[in-house]
Structure 1
Amino acid sequence: MTSRLRQCLVVLVTAITAMVASGVTAQAGGIPASAAGPTSTVESTFSAPGPWEVAKEKGFSCCDSSGNRFDIWYPTDLGANGVRHPIITWGDGTFAHPYQYDYLLSHLASWGFVVVAPDNTNTGSGQEMLEAVDFLVHQNSDPSSIFYQKLDTDNIGAMGHSQGAVGTLNAAIRAGGTIRTAVPIELPGQYMCTLGLPKPEGMTICTDPRQLTTGSVLYVNGSGSPISPSTQPLPWEQIGPQSAEGYYGATPDSVEKARATLNGPNHNDIQGQPGCPPNDPGCVSGVQGFLGVLTAWNMDKLRGDAHAHSAFVSGTGELFSQTTWSNQASNITG
């Protein structure tokens, strides 16, 4: 590695501290209506709570291969009017637990998704995320389960934060097409797993977007996150994916892909409840700004919502005119 390259990469690491994920325990609660949120049609629609009442349970059932129980969020009236609910498997950031993302995961459930998360603080391999999917697929075929014949097992997505974003891509790569879409949030650059620097357990696991050959992917980050930069000083072909720009570029063009940076948030804003958890240096404004885009993407890819889809069309989609977002890119043409 050249001294210039090492210098470029080390700059990205200077702010890495306990910000990787906070250890604050989130409080469960309902989803209030959005206040002064986005004003454009798609984002305002999906930033608001969806039509489903939400049930959730910590430690719903046991277990993944590491002995971690599954937490779950789901529409209370499962299967109403014949609806089958898509599945989203969630990956935590390092040292974090699923209930630290309660507001976001409840919001997704309010739009008809069943969200499952292994209570695992090291999710980079994606293995436990896939085991959570297997758990729900089994529940769908078990007559004694509340999920019996209520799930759309043909439409499964993966989402995760920080190390869980690494796990999200790895799960999608390993799933062989079972996972239809992946949404890595605040995905750390590959320097986190390649440089000989102190790092949390589990962050030695890398992910290679070039191996993603099926489905779709949306890369999302906040502009204030030093761990998950928006852009990088040299092309990914020279230094590897070290940013959302790099991961997007390394993802094959045969895969539907998009990326965008929310202006302002830091690394842990996605844990907002809805504002920032107390004493969390990795959060600036909370999760609200992320809700519309993340929900719309999943509504498009897992529920076939044409209105949501329109936001991501390259150049003309609503996402590209949003002043709250920057670094937008997409290969979706219609």
Structure 2
Amino acid sequence: MFLKIYHKGQKKESMKKVLIGIGILIACFGIGFLYLASKPSVASNYTEVVETGGAVEKKYLGQGNYDVSYLEINALQNFKKYELYYPTNIETETRKFPVVIFSNGTGVRASKYASVLKHLASWGFIVIGTEEEYSWNGFSSEMSLRLAIKLNDNKTVEGLKSNPFFSKVDLDKIGLSGHSQGGVGVFNAVTEQKHGHMIKTIYAASPANLELSSNLEWDYDPSLISVPTFLVSGTGGGYEDLVVSGKQLTQIYETLPATITKVMARRKEAGHGDMLRLPNGYMVAWFMWRLQGAPEAETAFQGNSPEIVQNKLYQDQRIMN
């Protein structure tokens, strides 16, 4: 039996190599994020070309019944502006509209996937995005929520000739959607921000795994979540597995409390960037169910045979009611 003895100098050298290795790993993630940020994110016609595997998924991947308008509001923050997509006839409607706030992946600003926000708005949502590039802490989501409150409560808003959202925002029905770093952001918006208690549901696509997030100082704690949560990721390997493998998504799912409604599914052969668009039929269905109470949308996730469980484009599905 041999005992290997390290002198102090050797210990320091060994620790130095470990730290260098960690630094290289984090740098690789950073390069990967920048690579994604340099590419166009979602095509304007994505709803016409994405494959679906079920009737509910197909329905909600299509356009909704509302024409959509767009409005920008300057933000006195590093994310420059708020980008709002909403039903064009909002002022003449007697109803109020639920809100979905988007939390961006690193470098992938809302303007790079505007077609996703517009698509969701066509189903009767007020959708808010920003140009935030560092969304992990939930701050941009918090500020977007504060904007929604301001727009609903004030007939006149500085910077707007008129305010189409006055008394039209359903502040009891607010959801969050996030991808990658933004997937971390939706958790922290609920658990760490002032108005987190107002958020009723979250959707996280390929959220950065717990270990990676800790290494990047993007810490979050799924065990503190108290609202219905839908997790998705892809099985395409490569960069997607570095951000969140199947095992790591399962870890997030299992860390969520057993007392909430939670759903997990992985889209087959989907890469990290693909998760901004490929699962969006079910993303829309989720918000239609949780924020608008649509019975057909609910069947994708509930009942004796939820559609998402039977959908052959997905695997590793888990549902807890």
Q: TM-score range by the shorter chain?
A: 0.7 to 0.9
Cα gap change, 1:39/1:163 in structure 2, threshold over 3 Å: closer, same or farther? Answer: closer
Code of the residue aligned with 1:163 in structure 2: it is Q
In structure 2, the residue corresponding to 1:34 is in which secondary structure? helix
Question: 1:275 maps to which residue?
Answer: none
Distance 2:41 2:70 in 1: 12
Partners of 2:271 and 2:63 lie apart in 1 by: 24
Matched, 1:307 2:296: yes
Distance 1:63 1:17, change over 3 A: closer
Is 1:321 aligned to 2:314, yes or no?
A: no
Match of 1:205 in 2: 218
> How much identity, in percent, do the aligned residues show?
22
State the Cα deviation string for residues 257-281 of structure 1 (Å, max 9, x = none).
111111122111245xxxxxxxxxx
For residues 62-81 of structure 1, the C-alpha deviation after alignment (integer angstroms, 9 at most, x for no partner) is: 32554632112111111554
Q: Kindly report which structure 2 residues correspond to 1:145-164, keeping only aligned pairs within 5 A, or say none.
A: 145-164=163-182
Residues 59-208 of structure 1: matches in 2 within 5 Å? 60-63=72-75, 65-66=77-78, 68-144=80-156, 145-174=163-192, 175-195=195-215, 203-208=216-221
- Note closer, same or farther for the CA distance 1:56–1:31 as it changes in structure 2 (3 Å cut): farther
Q: For residue 315 of structure 2, what is the amino acid of its counterpart?
A: S
Corresponding residue for residue 56 of structure 1: 70
Q: CA offset at residue 193 of structure 1? A: 3.0
Structure 2, unaligned runs of 5 or more: 1-17, 157-162
Change (3 A) 1:80 1:299: farther
Corresponding residue for residue 231 of structure 1: 246
Is the 1:15–1:227 contact (alpha carbons within 8 Å) kept by the matching residues of 2? no
What is the Cα deviation at residue 98 of structure 1? 0.8
Q: Cα distance, 1:128 vs. partner?
A: 1.6
Identify the residue that residue 259 of structure 1 maps to in structure 2.
264
Over residues 126-149 of structure 1, what are the superposed CA-to-partner deviations in whole Å (9 max), with x where a residue is unaligned? 012111011011101111311111
Decide whether the 8 Å contact of 1:177 with 1:215 is kept in 2: no
Matched-pair contact (CA < 8 Å) for 2:99–2:125 = yes
Report the more deviating stretch, 299-308 or 38-47.
38-47
TM-score calculated relative to the size of structure 2: 0.81
TM-score when normalising by structure 1:
0.78
What CA distance in whole angstroms lies between the structure 2 residues aligned with 1:33 and 1:172?
29
Deviations 1:188-229 (A, max 9, x none): 11222334xxxxxxx4211110111x2211011111212333
The structure with more radius of gyration: 2
Gapped runs of 5+ residues in structure 1? 1-5, 196-202, 233-242, 272-286
Which structure's residues are more often helix, by fraction? 2
For residues 81-132 of structure 1, the C-alpha deviation after alignment (integer angstroms, 9 at most, x for no partner) is: 4231111111111122111121211111111111112211001100121110
Q: How many residues align?
A: 287
The 3 A distance-change label for structure 1 pair 182 and 82 is same
Q: Is the 8 A contact 1:87 1:156 kept in 2?
A: yes
Answer yes or no: is the 8 Å Cα contact 2:37–2:106 preserved in 1. Answer: no
The one-letter amino acid of 2:201's match is T
Change (3 A) 1:108 1:46: same
| RMSD of aligned alpha carbons | 2.6
